[in-house]
Amino acid sequence: MSGARQKKQAKKMRNQPVSITLPGEPGPFPGGGSRASLSPGDVRSEQQYQQQKFSNQSSGPSYRKDQYFPKGQNRGERGRGRGGWQGGCQSVSEEMPKYITVSTFAQARAAEINAMLKAVTQKSSNSLVFQTLPRHMRRRAMSHNIKRLPRRLQEIARKEAEKAVHQKKEQSKTKCRKARRRHINLVAEFNRRQRKNIWLETHIWHAKRFHMVKKWGYCLGDSPTEKSYRACYRAMTKHCLLQDLSYYCCLELTGREKELLKQLARICSIDAGLTFEEACCLSGRFEGSLNLYRADRYPEDMLGPVTFIWKPKDGSENRQLWIWMHPALKQDMLRELKAIFQCSEPEEIYVPEPITTSIQEEKQMDVVPSLGKKRKKEDKEGEKAVPVKKIIGDGTRDPFQSYSWISQTTGIVISDRTMEILRYRLIGPLSHSVLTETLKAASLQTEMADSASELNNWWVENCKDSEKVSLHQRQSAIFELLEGISSPSELPPSTILGLTVGDPRVNLPKKKTKAMPDFEKYQDNDKVRQLYLEGVPVDCAHSFIWDQDICKNVTENKISEQDLNHMRAQLLVPGSHLDLGPCESKIPILLVQQPGKMAGEDRPGWGSGWDIYLPKGWGMAFWIPFIYRGVRVGGLQEALKHSEYQRTPHIPNDFPDCQAGMQFAKELETSLLEKFKRRPPAKRANYVKLGTLSPFVCPWGQLTKNWEGRMKASGEFVHPSSPHLECCATEGHGFCDPKAEVVKEASPETGEVEETMEITSLEGVRKTEDVTGTQDVSERGETMTSDFIVLRSEKLLMQLSAWCYPTAGKDRRIRLISRLGQKEMTEDVFLPILMSYPRALVWVNLSLLRKGNPELHAMICIPTEDDLLHLSKDKLFCGPQEPKHRDIFKHKVQKLKEEKKKKKKDNTKASESDPPSVPDKKTTEEHEDLILGLWSDALPDVTSHCSRTLLGYVTRGDFSLAAGCGEALGFVSLTGLLCMLYKQPADKKGLVLLRTPASLQYRFARLTIEV
């Protein structure tokens, strides 16, 4: 038989039984018995029977052929072809056994019959029943018409069809794009997608123009898809930039004023600035901002920064307070507020109307249309079907979960009004022009447009009150005065103005224009001067947006875009002004002035603007008119740059002492580490050789801990009578100056002589190459949660700012200190600060003297006396250079690679019978975190690892379009800062060195503290 036929026969016989053995009596014979149980004649007859049986099978797989012949029989003895088969038959017929054991023989034949029946009934291929028929019997209709098959196969085909129905995936009912783009289907799909991450009301607008990111439970626009980096800066500087801040969370506190102030005083401190008891904020005229801490824990356990607005007094005992915060801080603050007020869940739970999702919509559409009639969406309930309704507000809220908490003892209620109030921000000097062109004060209305409708019924009732009408007129007059003010920064900071406006969609221009100021209205009259000096009166800060019932009425009775466009189509003159009359909606809003840059001497008022608070449901109705006035829209990256140019901390990037900041740092480290691992070793920086211990995260706890140890070890600034005296004498060195040794050695790779660093700190201590992995790796993670604080005391920050203020002329520092009322820097002055805050960080900003572009996690270092001397001699001197370090982990990484290769080679050579080799557990744990180019052991002393003493790290840095040079923001150790300022000469105070993680070049920068 040819090779092709043998393969074909082997494929046929692959599912056939090779040998049959009874389960109860194992043995080599068909009956399952042994050779001893047979007589000599039976033995011979059985051998001949087996030989005759398997000689009939002419071919088969080679591994089966060896099983067909008893031991001692050769392949050559088997006859091939027809002659061999005949010979086998003749030999069997000649020597037929006379006697057989019936029971054993019957059991063997029964087992063979069962195996044969199983092989026949078991399906050995994936073909259907009609595909197994001969080609001449197949019909095309058999695949869907079972009756076309032979009757013997119809039952099997029916079972296959039922099985296929269950396995078939449910296909979407709306496949085509036309069906998907129907408004009802779009709304249902958008509602479904909002269940996991909250969408802002401007989400669809942003999704078409921005790179979207999922953060803090929201879908937010990160940055525009077009090139707009410089354009956004120009908008903030010369025109107007618009941002949607509706993702900020609002907690409303309601109760008696004394009870609120008593408990709120526990989570803030007057030492850090304003409190909730500030008189100007308590009246409701101004917005306040402060940092919150856990109850009675200042300055430790920070919660985060917030802004707050008090509702103006209306004669009742109860007051309302809004606390606005970043969504990353919400849960911690809500938990703390519920704890201090002892609030519990209220009994009444509001259950909103159900909203139809896309799944329910599919069920409604799953109806077979009758012939001759139009398709109509119906469900089992018919006319009682729930219509698809667009989600307004937070789509992730559980309708059966309460979002307000009440205190049984004091009666104070905490309500979560997140996404119930929308918040937009206008940044730039022309924010006034955009506001006054877009918004118009609402007209008075004393009669209802329709008695059956509830549209504007609250406004009609308020217009009947003469006092409220007079208040609305005064608010409108002040709002019109804004057009005559050149910049929002000219108003008192954080001024609040309440207002009721008409529908801004009515005033929409024909085409997109750029709002420009009207110079004829820039008159220095008495009213504008009074607004400059006194600000907005207290009564004009009132707004109806504080009333939840009014906000609900305004949201529910909004005129739809479809109805508004239908009214425009009916105008006699197309494009003319649409006058809705009494049908025009009236919307209560709140305007809050943002002061912009207030700290420092350069660019005062830069980045000022207005915040607009709106009821939910009116987001796009205000957004599109703002766009038509020529504003540029920014995302999260533009907000980051806005705070960077203002030199203020950004949430949560620049708050390392709160939980949100720690979480942000951990996520940033993970993403940067994954990006680093994706590059091959030859295409990425070796941070060990560059002397960068922690390139992806700032070890603040380790930094403050090392500086505290250096201060105690030196004993230079500790009085003899002080209990903190340490008996660690230092000969000839202060704790600010490490002893660096440059050692020349041959490189193992190139053979060239390289300069490597060996650092000997004053603690005695160990060299960099002597660091071993004896400490647990978990200690490195503890640097994120170490006991350190960020100094936020305004009094101390002003003192530090005066000490490190840059000096350009003779005696300027003396004049500045006397003007600020600060003291000269002596040991008696700053020693109590060191004792009170041994592990503290200070927020600083740095400006490069020469070229250079600071980056994230750049190191802030202290220059030596030689560096300052070199700079005074050569004004073009950029900075010193760090000698290259030796990679002490390189041989460990190479050893690990060799072990992996050897282990892989041994596994391939090992036989299957040998047990798998167990790897050394100790070696595996030792090398599991080894990455070439990164410091893999516990961090040594970070301050003395390099040739220049480490002072702090940069959290944000880039080339500043506002300053025209590289600028950076970051934190430095308070202990190290005081040490540096005390040692530096008078004309060089505040000079530091900056070095990016992937560079050896230091660059000079000026350090300042702005308060």
Name the nearest CA neighbour of 929 among 959, 896, 961: 896
Residue appearing with tokens 């309440």: 498
Total Cβ atoms within 10 A of residue 961: 15
Q: Contact at 8 Å (CB) between 318 and 253? A: no
Total Cβ atoms within 10 A of residue 551: 23
Distances 141 to 144, 388, 447 between C-alpha atoms, Å:
6, 43, 74
Tokens representing residue 120 in the block: 């026949």
Q: Contact at 8 Å (CB) between 310 and 321? A: yes
Tokens representing residue 2 in the block: 């040819």
Residue appearing with tokens 């430095």: 972
Q: Contact at 8 Å (CB) between 702 and 708? A: no
Distances 851 to 588, 700, 964, 971 between C-alpha atoms, Å:
51, 28, 10, 22
Name the nearest CA neighbour of 329 among 662, 786, 787: 662
The pLDDT of residue 56 is: 45
Across the 1011 residues of the chain, what is the mean pLDDT of every consecutive 10-residue run?
A: 77 61 45 43 46 44 42 44 44 67 90 89 74 83 85 87 69 70 85 86 92 91 91 91 93 90 90 86 90 89 92 86 93 90 67 45 41 43 54 70 83 89 92 90 80 76 86 89 83 90 89 81 73 84 90 88 88 82 88 87 86 92 92 93 91 90 91 91 89 90 89 64 36 43 43 45 37 38 61 88 67 52 73 86 91 91 90 86 86 82 76 52 57 84 89 92 90 90 83 91 90 81
Total Cβ atoms within 10 A of residue 895: 13
Tokens representing residue 690 in the block: 């560059």
Residue appearing with tokens 């979560």: 416
By DSSP bridging, strand 632-633 and strand 241-244 are parallel
Q: Contact at 8 Å (CB) between 586 and 554? A: yes
Distances 679 to 931, 998, 1000 between C-alpha atoms, Å:
12, 15, 21
Whether omega before 652 lies within 30 degrees of 0, making that bond cis, reads yes
The pLDDT of residue 1 is: 58
**Gap between the Cα atoms of 312 and 319, Å rounded:** 8
The pLDDT of residue 650 is: 92
Contact residues for 622 (Cβ-Cβ < 8 A; gap 6+): 424, 438, 504, 612, 614
Residue appearing with tokens 């057009």: 483
The pLDDT of residue 135 is: 85
Distances 398 to 346, 386, 703 between C-alpha atoms, Å:
15, 19, 44
The contacts found for 121-128 with CB under 8 angstroms, 24 or more apart, are 122/15, 124/15, 128/157, 128/160
Contact residues for 246 (Cβ-Cβ < 8 A; gap 6+): 200, 201, 202, 419, 422, 423, 424, 619
Q: Contact at 8 Å (CB) between 741 and 981? A: no
The pLDDT of residue 523 is: 64
Name the nearest CA neighbour of 321 among 251, 248, 258, 270: 251
Tokens representing residue 843 in the block: 């927020």
Q: Contact at 8 Å (CB) between 461 and 444? A: no
At 292 the three-state DSSP class reads strand
Name the nearest CA neighbour of 839 among 699, 719, 980, 701: 701
At 38 the three-state DSSP class reads coil
Tokens representing residue 110 in the block: 């029964």
Tokens representing residue 332 in the block: 């911690």
Distances 949 to 214, 416, 734 between C-alpha atoms, Å:
40, 48, 12
Backbone region of residue 284 per phi and psi (left: phi > 0; alpha: psi in -120 to 50; beta: other values): left
Which residues partner with 1004 through β-bridges?
Answer: 993
| Phi/psi of residue 737, nearest 5 degrees | -115, 115
DSSP secondary structure string, 473-510? Answer: HHHHHHHHHGGG-S-GGGSPTTBEEEEEEE-GGGG--S
State which amino acid sits at residue 364.
Q
State which amino acid sits at residue 561.
E
**Gap between the Cα atoms of 144 and 128, Å rounded:** 12
The pLDDT of residue 148 is: 86
Distances 810 to 7, 284, 983 between C-alpha atoms, Å:
102, 47, 19
Q: Contact at 8 Å (CB) between 856 and 650? A: no
